[in-house]
Amino acid sequence: MWRTLDKDLVRGVGALAAAVAVNGLSFGAISVAAALPLWVPVAMSLLVFAGSSQYLVVGVVAAGGSPVAAVLGGLVLNSRHLPFGLAIGQVVGDRLATRLLGSHLLVDESVAFALSQKDSKQARSAFWLCGGALFVSWNVSVVIGALAGQLVSNPNALGLDAVFPAAMLALVLPALKDRTTLGAALAGAAVALATTPFLPTGLPVLLSLAGLLVTLTSPSKRDRDAAQPARTAAGGGKSGEADQS
């Protein structure tokens, strides 16, 4: 399947892996600064491999919350992976072992890269390349960040946590050229911004899925493209009648 890879895809995954590595440095440093043992962020990165949930767990524990609350919050936040799995289940593979491994590499970025490909072969290659590259870069950088965090008194002052959302924004920008997708994204962003001050971390992101309701009332790009020949034919017919008259 690696024969279907192109240079643009490899270059895009490489750039994203570099951004994720910077974010992993931030997570490792912040975890150690929150008085967690070094093995905790390392183990979470290997076994959980979900940056947003890992940040949530560290934040809850550092604020004095119970580990149970932290784990439940992480599960709620990661519930978005359920529709992800349904969307790319056939892309990952058919064998049970392949699906189990693929489910561990199923993150926002690997799903986005897979769904942006033109055919199933390219989608499968993109998913495994992106998931594998991010897994390696994230885990290696978390170890380095945790070791370096012992030398920095306030890792938050470095602003490394801004790299991850910036990378995600760059990843979704091409999809926002479609008006329906842009409308759904803006509606979801408005919901998230409105609810963030009042709800626990992670829930506003889930509620932002309400923005998908915009797609129910707007015609898709495929429908607009299909309707274009009919509109053209209708316009041409009226023009012809006017000429004859």
Structure confidence at residue 132 (pLDDT): 92
Structure confidence at residue 164 (pLDDT): 55
* Structural domain containing residue 71: 2-175
| Residue 85 domain-assigned (yes or no) | yes
Structure confidence at residue 153 (pLDDT): 60
Structure confidence at residue 242 (pLDDT): 45
| Residue 240 domain-assigned (yes or no) | no
* Same domain? 107 vs 120: yes
User: Phi/psi at 35 (nearest 5 deg)?
Assistant: 70, 25
* Same domain? 84 vs 170: yes
Q: What is the pTM of this model?
A: 0.65
Structure confidence at residue 203 (pLDDT): 73
Residues of the chain with pLDDT under 70: 1-4, 65, 152-168, 170-171, 201-202, 218-245
Name the region of 64 (left: φ>0; alpha: ψ -120 to 50; beta: rest): left
- Contacts (Cβ under 8 Å, ≥6 apart) of 57: 44, 70, 71, 73, 74
* Same domain? 168 vs 182: no
